[in-house]
């Protein structure tokens, strides 16, 4: 069967066809960025999992290479699942991944490049001494996976973390090694939570200025986990003591449902790497489809990667902040600009014109609430509720005092199809501050059936009384991806939508305001985005 490319992405990473999931082994090595990812070489549903491989010099254009790691040995005969890369001090990259062995146990294997002089590191060798970490006594062998990038302590020992569970308790198990070959479990977990299985843990230092420790600013360690039960991720950050291998999250940070999230939408199994070329930490995450498996098989493809995001600690030390890597701005083309335009309260909208198509666009806007006094009180019944619950109760078409206001993206001619990305402002939050909610409401996004259309939402930590009522929004639109960054990357939401009319040059962009207060668009810049170049290294790459 062919590939239905109507809703395929132009600049969000996708292979030419079939199923993809987690980003794996992301790294920068000798001038080249490597992205490996979970891939089914046969069809557009999960299964037959190998590590597909793509390389780039700019995180924008990609060369597809043949799969790097695929079942060949008893220790991975039933699948090559997620893992990470570590660049060793002598410059050799090592991959640690989860193999599914002949008994369907999850074991951790190491692999090294066959030829270090190949800049693309096409071929990988798995030493015979694998697996290097098998599930020991008391470990659930069907829930023991996704090794992190390793780090070296002052004592010279390597450490890494593996995700597992003990009944309902998610655990980040710590292992140590002198030689990357023999690994021993630490006698206690690095951290755990009452959340169910922890998949794809990630553990790394961040600072408020740059991610290179020692460069000044406040340094914290971040622990991120992915919850297989709810399919969302959360993170904590705090102090990590190398001498005792103790991680203590900051007191205000919760594990589980109330935890902070990279993304309040469709974003999973994420992983960061240290980009030594630009001294930044870069985050990759997978966005699954939200149409049906039957649709995916018909389309011939499923899964995309979110744009790579730079991640750092906010200057107040309260949360992480993310922003699309600057390189993607090189794809910006035709541009529409709006300054100081009023959007009257009481239900009004206008179209952002000037783009030939708004199906593949990058929109940066700053909104200003004209009359903050119109904010409704935050319903005490919502205290402790998550943002999604509030937003599901108050969708994009439910009028409020301040908001909903924001963008309709991937909108059809008469905007019967539209995905709303918007804000609402309430009064009466903690300490008398306003409560700001950011939502993605896809309920009107498509005329098609059999779609999963959850409302996504997060609170935004912005004191609008102090910003003069201003709130910023950036939204990356890419045919079936709506990836939004609220208030300069404080709250992020990725959503997958499947318009039937708002496709190609029929896709439009609007600003709307369904609140009582007028809203001023202080500025809005919308850019058409060119497509990234995805080329194949060999014809066989995707036919093996
Ligand atoms: N996906 C992989 C696992 C991981 C899960 C299998 C998370 O290693 O736990 O494809 O999406």
| Digit-coded pLDDT (tens) for 483-499 | 999 999 999 999 999 99
d(CA 191, CA 174): 9
Residue in 324, 237, 234, 305 with CA at minimum distance from that of residue 24: 305
Report residue 198 CA to chain centroid gap.
16
Three-class secondary structure assignment of 419-458: EEEEEEEEECCHHHCCEEEEEEECCCCCCCCCCCCCCEEE
Residue 495, H or E segment: strand 491-496
Report phi then psi at 505, rounded to 5. -80, 5
Reduced to 3 states (helix: H, G, I; strand: E, B; else coil), residue 271 is: strand
Q: Give the binding-site residues of ligand 1, using a 6 Å CB cut-off.
A: 21-22, 38, 49, 81-82, 98, 145-146, 199-200, 268-269
What is the average pLDDT across 129-144?
Answer: 97
CA dist list (Å): 316 to 50, 218, 321:
41, 10, 11
Ligand 1 test: best mutation among 40, 146, 172, most atoms within 8 Å of CB?
146
Query: What is the distance in A from the centroid of ligand 1 to the CA of 199?
Result: 7
Contact 278, 211 (CB under 8 A): no
Residue with tokens 């600003």: 511
Report residue 449 CA to chain centroid gap.
26
| Digit-coded pLDDT (tens) for 380-399 | 888 778 899 999 999 999 99
Q: How many helices and strands (H and E) does the chain possess?
A: 2, 38
- Residues belonging to the chain: 544
pLDDT recorded at residue 539: 47
Reduced to 3 states (helix: H, G, I; strand: E, B; else coil), residue 70 is: coil
What is the average pLDDT across 429-443?
Answer: 90
Q: Angle 220-87-211 (CA atoms, 0-180°, nearest 5)?
A: 25
Query: What is the distance in A from the centroid of ligand 1 to the CA of 513?
Result: 40
Query: What is the distance in A from the centroid of ligand 1 to the CA of 81?
Result: 6
d(CA 164, CA 199): 7
Query: What is the distance in A from the centroid of ligand 1 to the CA of 541?
Result: 23
What number is the ipTM of this complex? Answer: 0.99
| Digit-coded pLDDT (tens) for 42-71 | 999 999 999 999 999 999 999 999 999 999
pLDDT recorded at residue 109: 98
Q: Which of 4, 22, 250, 430 is an active site residue?
A: 22
pLDDT exceeds 80 at position 448 = yes
Contact 421, 409 (CB under 8 A): yes
Q: State the average pLDDT for the chain.
A: 95
d(CA 32, CA 115): 15
Report phi then psi at 542, rounded to 5. -110, 15
Reduced to 3 states (helix: H, G, I; strand: E, B; else coil), residue 66 is: strand
| Digit-coded pLDDT (tens) for 412-431 | 998 999 999 999 999 987 77
Query: What is the distance in A from the centroid of ligand 1 to the CA of 31?
Result: 28
Give the gyration radius of the chain's Cα atoms: 23
Q: Tell me, what DSSP letter sits at residue 131?
A: -
Q: Tell me, what DSSP letter sits at residue 293?
A: H
Which residue puts its alpha carbon closest to atom 6 of ligand 1? 81
Report residue 153 CA to chain centroid gap.
28
| Digit-coded pLDDT (tens) for 242-275 | 999 999 999 999 999 889 999 999 999 999 999 9
Residue in 150, 160, 216, 165 with CA at minimum distance from that of residue 190: 160
Contact 321, 488 (CB under 8 A): yes
d(CA 146, CA 142): 12
Residue in 403, 544, 375 with CA at minimum distance from that of residue 473: 403
Query: What is the distance in A from the centroid of ligand 1 to the CA of 297?
Result: 20
Q: With bands split at pLDDT 50, 70 and 90, how would you rate the model's confidence at 211?
A: very low
Q: Can you tell me which atom of ligand 1 is nearest the CA of 83? A: 8
Q: Can you tell me which atom of ligand 1 is nearest the CA of 82? A: 8
pLDDT exceeds 60 at position 295 = yes
Q: Can you tell me which atom of ligand 1 is nearest the CA of 146? A: 8
The structure tokens listed for 298 are 């018909």
CA atoms within 13 A on the CB side of 519: 35
More confident residue, 538 or 513: 513
The structure tokens listed for 506 are 């029929």
Which range (217-226, 284-293, 418-427, 507-516) has the least confidence? 217-226
Sign of CA dihedral 324, 327, 331, 335: positive
Q: Can you tell me which atom of ligand 1 is nearest the CA of 199? A: 9
Residue with tokens 């194949």: 536
Reduced to 3 states (helix: H, G, I; strand: E, B; else coil), residue 295 is: helix
d(CA 405, CA 420): 9
pLDDT recorded at residue 380: 83
What is the average pLDDT across 149-154?
Answer: 96
Q: What global pTM score does this model have?
A: 0.97
Query: Environment class of residue 180 by beta-carbon count within 10 Å: exposed (0-12), middle (13-18) or buried (19+)?
Result: middle
Q: Can you tell me which atom of ligand 1 is nearest the CA of 226? A: 7
Three-class secondary structure assignment of 328-357: HHHHEEEEEEEEEEEECCCCEEEECCCCCC
Q: With bands split at pLDDT 50, 70 and 90, how would you rate the model's confidence at 166?
A: very high
d(CA 421, CA 142): 39
Q: Has 22 been annotated as catalytic?
A: yes
pLDDT exceeds 70 at position 543 = no
pLDDT exceeds 60 at position 307 = yes
Q: Alpha helix (H) ranges present in 346-491?
A: 387-393
Ligand 1 test: best mutation among 20, 36, 38, most atoms within 8 Å of CB?
38
Ligand 1 test: best mutation among 39, 82, 173, most atoms within 8 Å of CB?
82
pLDDT exceeds 70 at position 127 = yes
């Amino acid at each position: 069967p062919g590939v239905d490319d109507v809703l395929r992405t132009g600049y969000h990473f996708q292979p030419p066809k079939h199923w993809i999931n987690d980003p794996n082994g992301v790294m920068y090595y000798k001038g080249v960025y490597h992205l490996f990812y979970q891939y089914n070489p046969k069809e557009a549903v999960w299964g037959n999992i190998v590590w597909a491989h793509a390389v780039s010099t700019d995180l924008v254009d990609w060369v597809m290479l043949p799969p790097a790691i695929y079942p060949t040995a008893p220790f991975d005969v039933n699948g090559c699942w997620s893992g990470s890369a570590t660049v060793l001090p002598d410059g050799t990259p090592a991959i640690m991944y989860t193999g599914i062995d002949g008994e369907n146990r999850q074991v951790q294997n190491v692999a090294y490049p066959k030829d270090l002089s190949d800049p693309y590191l096409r071929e990988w060798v798995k030493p015979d001494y694998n697996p290097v970490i098998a599930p020991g006594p008391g470990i659930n062998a069907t829930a023991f996976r996704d090794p992190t990038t390793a780090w070296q302590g002052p004592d010279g020992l390597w450490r890494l973390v593996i995700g597992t569970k003990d009944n309902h308790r998610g655990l980040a198990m710590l292992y140590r090694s002198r030689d990357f070959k023999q690994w021993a479990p630490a006698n206690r977990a690095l951290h755990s939570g009452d959340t169910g299985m922890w998949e794809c843990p990630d553990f790394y230092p961040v600072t408020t200025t740059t991610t290179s420790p020692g460069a000044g600013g406040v340094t914290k360690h971040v622990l991120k986990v992915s919850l297989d039960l709810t399919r969302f991720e959360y993170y904590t950050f705090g102090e990590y003591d190398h001498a005792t291998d103790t991680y203590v999250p900051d007191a205000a940070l919760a594990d589980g449902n109330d935890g902070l999230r990279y993304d309040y939408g469709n974003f999973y199994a994420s992983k960061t790497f240290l980009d030594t070329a630009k001294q930044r930490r870069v985050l990759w995450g997978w966005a699954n489809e939200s149409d049906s498996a039957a649709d995916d098989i018909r389309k011939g493809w499923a899964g995309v990667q979110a744009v790579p995001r730079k991640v750092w600690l906010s200057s107040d030390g309260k949360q992480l902040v993310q922003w699309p890597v600057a390189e993607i701005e090189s794809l910006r083309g035709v541009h529409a600009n709006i300054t100081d335009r009023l959007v009257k309260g009481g239900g009004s909208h206008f179209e952002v014109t000037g783009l030939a198509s708004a199906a593949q666009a990058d929109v940066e806007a700053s909104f200003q609430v004209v009359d903050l006094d119109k904010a409704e009180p935050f319903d005490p019944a919502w205290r402790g509720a998550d943002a999604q619950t509030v937003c599901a109760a108050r969708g994009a078409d439910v009028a409020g005092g301040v908001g909903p206001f924001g963008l309709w993206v991937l909108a059809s001619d008469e905007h019967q199809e539209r995905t709303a990305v918007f804000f609402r402002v309430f009064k009466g939050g903690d300490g008398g501050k306003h409560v700001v909610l950011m939502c993605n409401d896809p309920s009107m996004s498509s005329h098609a059936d059999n779609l999963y259309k959850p409302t996504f939402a997060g609170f935004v930590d912005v004191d609008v009384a102090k910003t003069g009522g201003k709130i910023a929004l950036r939204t990356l639109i890419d045919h079936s991806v709506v990836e939004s960054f609220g208030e300069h990357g404080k709250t992020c939401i990725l959503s997958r939508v499947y318009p039937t009319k708002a496709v190609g040059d029929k896709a439009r962009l609007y600003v709307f305001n369904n609140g009582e207060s007028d809203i001023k668009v202080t500025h809005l810049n919308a850019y058409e985005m060119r497509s990234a170049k995805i080329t194949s290294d060999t014809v066989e790459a995707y036919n093996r």
